Amino acid sequence: MARAGSNSRIWTNKTTPWHNRRLQPIVRRSLADRPDSLPCSEKTKVYHSHTPSLCTYDRGTVVEFTYNRRHRVVCVTQEFTEITVVGEDDTGLIANVTTLLFERSINIEGLDQAVREGVFRMSMQVDTREMVCTQEKLRTDLHELGEELGVDVQVRFPADRETKQIAVLVTKESHCLEAIFEAWASGELGADVSVVIGNHSDLEPLAEKYEVPFHDIGDDKGNPDEEQLLELLAEYDADLIALARYMRILSPDVVFRYENRIINVHPSLLPAFPGAEAYLQALEEGVRIAGVTAHYVTTDLDQGPIITQRAFNVPPNSEVEDLERIGQPLEADALLEAIDLHLNDEVQVHRGRTRLRESADGNPQLGAPLELNDLNPDRPLDGLGEIVADSQPEADD
C-alpha cells in the first residue's frame, strides 16, 4: 500500500491492493484544497484516475476538478526519483519492490510495467522527499533486493540528472557522430559526450580526435556483446543514448533499462519504410518526397514515438547514393534537434506519441520548415465554395 501524509489522501479505482494491479495510477490531492480546484506549483503533471491520460501544466496553473467517483485529478511535481527494475519475469516482483518503498515512507506517483520476450520491466516515479533513510541507503537496499530477486535495479535521484552524460552508439557511418561532436565542441549540445561505443572500430579515430573513450563491442561480423554494452553504459552513467546510425537492433534487455532515453535516427519518414535499406525502399516505391525521422527506441523496430522529422524532394532518376547525399545532413540535423529537446525536457511521451511541453522555448523544427506553410494553398476546402454552399438543402426542423 502507499503512504498518505497528514494532509493528503490516496485514491485508487478498485479496492484491490494497488501493488497487485497493473498500470493503475495512484491519484492524490491535498485535502486542504477546495474540491473543485487545485493550484499547481512549478511544472506539474496531472493524472486522470479514470483514464491513462496525462496533461502537463506550468507554474501557477489552476486545474479544475470534476469531483465525483469516476473523475479525480491530481497535480504532482516532476522532481521524482526514477526506479527501473529489469530481469526475468516472475511473480511477486512488483509487491517486493513496492513493499520496500512503503516501509521507507516513499510515495509512489507512477508505475508502469511490461514483459517482452520473457524480460520483465517496471518503471516507477517515486517521491523520496520524506523518506526515512538516506539516498545511498535506499540505493543499497534496492540493489540488495534486486540481487535476492535476480533482477537489476537502477535508481536515479533528481540530483543525479543535473549534468547529463550522452553515450553514442555507432557502426561505420560518421556523419551523425561528427555532428554530435561539433555541437559538443561548440558548447551547443548541453551535455557531455562521455563515451562512444561501436560494433566496429571504424570510427575510433574520430572519437580519439575529440579525446572521447571508444569501445568496440563487436565481433568479427559486427555482432555486439550486449552484456559488455550494459556494463559500459552503467560505467559511464549514461543519461541518454544516441544511436548515430548504429546498425544493430537493441534487445529488450537494453531498451527496458533505458526507456525513453534512447534516440535513434532512421532514414525514412516513419512509419513508412522501416527496417534496413530505407532509401532503397523509397526508390522502389517511387515516392516523390523522402525524409528522415528521429524517434525514441522501443522493443518494436522503428515504431517508437517520433520526435523530429525532415523531408526532401526525390530528384528524378535518383540512385540510393543521391538520396544518401541529400539525406545524411538531414539525419544529423534531426538527431541533434531530438537530443536537444530531450535534454531540455521539452518533449514528453504520451500514449506512444511525443508532444512539446507548454514551457518549450523557441520554435523547434519538428517537421518541415515553417515557410512551407506559406507555400501551400489554402483553398479550396470542402463546403466553402459559394455555389455548393448556396445549393445545400436546408436542414429539417
- The per-residue DSSP string of 64-90 comes to EP--SSS--EEEEES-PEEEEEEEE--
Which residue type, as a one-letter code, is found at position 74? Answer: V
Is residue 195 within 8 A of residue 236, CB to CB? The reply is yes
Mean pLDDT of 154-180: 89
What pLDDT sits at residue 117?
84
**Is pLDDT of 72 > 70?**
no
> CA-CA distances (angstroms) from residue 290 to 296, 315, 338?
20, 10, 19
Q: Which residues pair with 262 in a beta bridge?
A: 241
Please provide the CATH number assigned to the domain covering 81-162: 3.30.70.260
DSSP string, 25-66: --EEEETTS-TTEEE--SSEEEEETTSS-EEEE-TT-EEEP-
Containing 375, the helix (H) or strand (E) segment is helix 371-375
3-state secondary structure of 124: strand
- Percent above pLDDT 90 for the chain: 59
Burial of 230 (0-12, 13-18, 19+ CB in 10 A): middle
What pLDDT sits at residue 165?
93
Is residue 189 within 8 A of residue 339, CB to CB? The reply is yes
Q: What is the pTM of this model?
A: 0.71
In the chain, residues under CATH classification 3.30.70.260 are 81-162
pLDDT band of 160, cuts 50, 70, 90 = low
In the chain, residues under CATH classification 3.40.50.170 are 164-372
Q: Which residue has the higher pLDDT, 269 or 11?
A: 269
Mean pLDDT of 29-40: 36
Mean pLDDT of 266-274: 97
**How far, rounded to the nearest angstrom, does the alpha carbon of residue 20 sit from its chain's CA centroid?**
26
Q: Which residues pair with 348 in a beta bridge?
A: 355
**Is pLDDT of 84 > 60?**
yes
**Is pLDDT of 29 > 60?**
no
Mean pLDDT of 335-351: 91
Residues 6+ apart with CB under 8 A from 300: none
Is residue 72 within 8 A of residue 102, CB to CB? The reply is no
Q: What pLDDT digit, counting tens, does each position of 191-248 carry?
A: 999 999 999 999 999 999 999 999 999 999 999 999 999 999 999 989 999 999 999 9
CA distance 139 to 143: 6
**Is pLDDT of 3 > 50?**
no
Q: Which residues are catalytic?
A: 302
**Is pLDDT of 31 > 80?**
no
Indicate the CATH number of 164-372 among 3.40.50.170, 3.30.930.10, 3.30.70.100, 3.40.50.10710: 3.40.50.170
What pLDDT sits at residue 363?
80
What pLDDT sits at residue 348?
87
Closest CA to 82 of 168, 158, 27, 136: 158
Closest CA to 44 of 36, 54, 33, 52: 54
* Residue carrying the nine cell digits 523522402: 290
What pLDDT sits at residue 360?
65
pLDDT band of 167, cuts 50, 70, 90 = very high
Q: Which residues pair with 121 in a beta bridge?
A: 86, 114
What pLDDT sits at residue 110?
87
- Percent above pLDDT 70 for the chain: 75
**Is pLDDT of 155 > 70?**
yes
**Is pLDDT of 59 > 80?**
no
CA distance 77 to 56: 10
Closest CA to 74 of 110, 29, 24, 131: 29
